[in-house]
């Protein structure tokens, strides 16, 4: 939430559902701006699977 009069921003607790390309980038974007972000993804971590061929990330 921006307060345009004095240029301050309210830090928010944000939940991002979906850790694909868009969800991950949105979580990163918000966290870099000081918001507290929780990212939830249904699928297991792709880095822990033996073969990741054919996946988007």
The pLDDT tens digits for 7-29 are 677 899 999 999 989 999 999 99
Longest dimension (CA), the chain: 53
Q: Which residue has the higher pLDDT, 51 or 40?
A: 40
Examine the pLDDT at 57 and tell me if it is beyond 90: no
Whole-prediction pTM: 0.67
What percent of the chain has a predicted confidence (pLDDT) above 90?
53
Region 29-47: mean pLDDT is 91
Mean pLDDT of all residues belonging to the chain: 83
Taking CA atoms, 42 is separated from 1, 3, 4, 38, in Å, by 29, 35, 37, 13
């Amino acid at each position: 939430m921006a307060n345009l009069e004095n240029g301050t921003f309210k830090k928010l607790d944000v939940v991002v559902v979906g850790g694909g390309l868009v969800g991950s980038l949105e979580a990163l974007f918000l966290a870099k701006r000081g918001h507290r972000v929780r990212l939830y993804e249904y699928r297991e971590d792709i880095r822990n699977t033996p073969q990741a061929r054919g996946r988007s990330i």
